[in-house]
Amino acid sequence: MNNILSLAERAFVVFSLLVFMQAFIPAMRQALGLPIDQGDPISTLFGLLILIFTLFLLVIWYKRVLRVVIKEQLLWILIAIANFSLFWSVAPEETHSNLIILGRITLFGIYFAARYNRKEQLQLLAWTFGIAAVFSLVFALALPTYGLMGRGSVLTPEDMAHAGTWRGVYSHKNLLGRAMVLGGCVFLLFANSNRKYSWVGWTGFVLSIILILGCTSKTALVSLLTLLMLMPLYRALRWNYSVALPFFITTVSVGGSLAIVLVSNAESILGAMGKDLTFTGRVPLWAAVIDKISEHPWLGYGYDAFWLGLDGESAQIWRMLGWAVPHAHNGFIDLCVDLGLIGLSVFVVSYFATYIRAIAEIRKTKTGEGLLPLIYLTFFVLANLTESTIRQNFFWVMYVVITLSTHNNFTQEFEQKQVQPEVKKSLTHSSQGG
């Protein structure tokens, strides 16, 4: 009976992660003729079900939850700023509704971090991305109405601009590409941490590359290659300092030389990728948004209250650029728009604190799952340089999971180091007394 309940709980986690990454939902909307927005019945129903089960599981595992929650502060400060932004938001109704979503997905992240250890987290992520990858391939090849851009009854200019490219179980090719970048890394880590089923990880990794090529996302391909090149560097953190230091010096020297070459030939390289030095219009967009930030520099415009089209503060940017842009195409700029320099500063400190704990976790582990936190944190930055994913459900859930679980592991290791000398001391006294 316990095995069945454990299996059902894991199935719930995989289902929730798929919902958070918006897999399959676009196809359901298209099949049922539902609107493509957060308020559609499918997203609302799934969100409610996930919240109910999450609250139930938080109560069941409350001891683990409390142990995880009380060890973190910066994350809660950031979330508190987001909640208090309701008082200065330029669109309080939007802020309120999006804060509810933030609370719901944060609760799930707390549960996921408290309930499962790192190895189990990696396994569940592998299942999640495995399902998304397999069905994305099926949708692209066998169900093109759902799996290809430019197909279906309702088409947008964006759909037609990328007609024929793969989008799989997602609504856009870039979403498929971004998911498979992280999925490819997860599969690779799974292959390295589970020798018995390493073939599953390698199969998933190859499938991720096929899907990235099918969606023609050059950004996704570059991101995956970057992460693959960084993996050996991260593994080197486990080496003895006398060996690691020369390795890092050599790597930085080579990397710096390569960066100089890339910068010197940036125009040619970007041209070959179909981009330009403005990153397809992003630089003028960033300049315009930063100018708006200067009007509310410290606290921002309120959580998720800025980008409301012609009805909100974003109207000026739309008219200036002639572009119906949904966000700043940079997660850190968007965070500053929402919560100002104060909110951005808290996030940056939280991120680097988590990054340091992630390095500590790598040094105390020898298996693939130990690399997961640092790989995700690096991916998180890459994903937010030209897109805005900090607030997106799945990516925020994973940031909460990594932040809390690295904090938990780091604290446990520190406590063990403090306890061991005391135990040795008491044993010594006992033996002397005997």
Residue 135 inside a domain? The answer is no
Position 423 scores a pLDDT of: 42
Q: What is the pLDDT of residues 291-334, one digit of tens each?
A: 999 999 999 999 999 999 999 899 999 999 998 999 999 999 99
The whole-angstrom separation of Cα 344 and Cα 347 is 5
Q: What is the pLDDT of residues 193-221, one digit of tens each?
A: 988 899 999 999 999 999 999 999 999 99
The contacts of residue 369 (CB under 8 Å, 6+ apart) are 118, 119, 121, 122, 189, 193
Residue 76 inside a domain? The answer is yes
Position 281 scores a pLDDT of: 80
Range(s) of the domain holding residue 390: 61-115+278-417
Residue 418, pLDDT > 60, answer: no
Is 332 exposed, middle or buried, given 0-12, 13-18 or 19+ CB atoms closer than 10 A? middle
148: helix, strand or coil = strand
Position 35 scores a pLDDT of: 67
Mean pLDDT, all residues of the chain: 89
Residue 87 inside a domain? The answer is yes
Q: What is the pLDDT of residues 95-134, one digit of tens each?
A: 999 999 999 999 999 999 999 999 999 999 999 999 999 9
In the chain, the number of structural domains is 1
Residue 56 inside a domain? The answer is no
**Comparison of pLDDT for 430 and 367, the residue scoring more:** 367
The contacts of residue 284 (CB under 8 Å, 6+ apart) are 278, 321
**Region 51-76: what's the mean pLDDT?**
97
Residue 424 inside a domain? The answer is no
Instruction: For residue 419, name the pLDDT band (cuts at 50, 70, 90).
Output: very low
Residue 374 inside a domain? The answer is yes
Residue 181 inside a domain? The answer is no
Residue 235 inside a domain? The answer is no
Position 433 scores a pLDDT of: 54
Residue 204: name the closest of 122, 125, 141, 133 by CA.
Answer: 133
